[in-house]
Structure 1
Amino acid sequence: MTYSSINVKDKFLALKALGVGEFEHLNGNLETHLYETYQLLVNWGNPDFVCDAGLYHAVYGTQAMKDLGIPCKEFSPSDRPNIRKIIGNNAENLVYLYGACDRDYFYPQIGSPNPIYRDRFDQSEKRLPGSTMQNILEITMANELQLCISSSSFRNDNRDWFIALFDRFEGIVSNNAFRLYRDLFTA
């Protein structure tokens, strides 16, 4: 069976089989967060592979999860072929880039010409193609906005940080994503 023959329900069940529902997340369990992140990406009209990457975006852990001490599976290169079988090469590549992102290095560069992406696992650096940058930032926005939607206190406590970051996403992420951000933060 190839990833293209696996429907979203089965991709979600495969994700659950990895144990994601067992981990707590900032505003509930990780399973709910991942599904709602996926739904935002669908609602914004993203391609299937971007939505699938949103569903699996934390499967390799993230810098934020590590920094907050949230239990997550440690990344292993041997996991990548198994994830590719479920969601395909394009989605898995985005999942890897999202999980491997050195946010403290990369995020401050967003909006500047030719930002450099740094991999937190191997410290390699590169410029991302424009479409890859857009997809990573779209997933980033979906991830963070899902947290903001599920907790007004989280949104208010981190308001200045989100505004400073997301204002620089304008013209890179989809209009639908940027509009939701503006609606949440101008209310």
Structure 2
Amino acid sequence: MDINIRKLIELGAGKFEHLDSTLITHIESTRCRLKEWNADIPLQQAGLYYIAYLENEVNNSRAVAGLRNSVKEIVGTEVETIIYYYYAWDKVTFMHQPITSRECVFNNAITGTQESIPYLLFCQLCELYAAIAIDNIHVEETFSLEISSKYRRGLSSIMPYLSAPAKRKITIME
């Protein structure tokens, strides 16, 4: 097991405490897909650790805020920023907003506030979403058609912000 995953488990972060072979396969597949798409190293690592804040035993804003510095020490600031914003992402609102500048208005579901995030971070969140969604669609026999359809709609709405390799993969799937 990855030493950083072990450290995150010790913190009580995310679904890591429920680690099993299916979850390990999923997060490694997500990381590998991002690598195939030539994503930078922090984004690839975010694919491996993105679940650090998901469904953690104390999943409230204060608990997540308290974990952030510890998670940064383990995975690094760039990776933690990506996984934090992925967790905090109000995806429905965010994916449907018109992006007209290099700054994006981000609806933070943890704090309940709006903030501006850099366009690059927006694109990284979209790329991470795509890698996760594609992996989940590939195992859709374990997901309902409703969940698969939700992922496909999400992919369609973020297409303009994805890398060329990600777009090719999504186009092949259709």
Contact 2:5–2:16, Cα closer than 8 Å, also in 1: no
TM-score (norm 2): 0.79
Q: Secondary structure at 2:38's aligned position in 1?
A: coil
Distance 1:21 1:131, change over 3 A: closer
Contact 1:49–1:90, Cα closer than 8 Å, also in 2: yes
Question: Counterpart of 2:44 in structure 1: which amino acid?
Answer: C
Structure 1 gap ranges (5+): 1-7, 62-70
**What do residues 15-59 of structure 1 show as CA deviations (whole Å, max 9, x unaligned)?**
45557454379xx74333222211211121111111111111121
**What do residues 104-123 of structure 1 show as CA deviations (whole Å, max 9, x unaligned)?**
322222x5435521111111
RMSD: 2.7
Structure 2 gap ranges (5+): none
Q: Which residue, 93, 99, 103 being the options, matches 1:105?
A: 93
Q: Distance in 1 between matches of 2:9 and 2:19?
A: 13
Asked if residue 174 in structure 1 is aligned to residue 163 in structure 2, the reply is yes
Q: Which residue, 137, 140, 160 being the options, matches 1:151?
A: 140
Question: Counterpart of 2:95 in structure 1: which amino acid?
Answer: Y
Report the equivalent of 1:72.
Answer: 56
Q: Which residue, 34, 46, 50 being the options, matches 1:41?
A: 34
Contact 2:16–2:52, Cα closer than 8 Å, also in 1: no
Distance 1:84 1:33, change over 3 A: same
Count residues in correspondence. 166
Report the equivalent of 2:43.
Answer: 50
Report the equivalent of 1:5.
Answer: none
Q: Distance in 2 between matches of 1:46 and 1:116?
A: 23
Q: Distance in 1 between matches of 2:8 and 2:35?
A: 18
Q: Distance in 2 between matches of 1:12 and 1:76?
A: 17
Report the equivalent of 1:133.
Answer: 122
TM-score (norm 1): 0.74
Contact 2:90–2:107, Cα closer than 8 Å, also in 1: yes
Matched residues, percent identical? 19
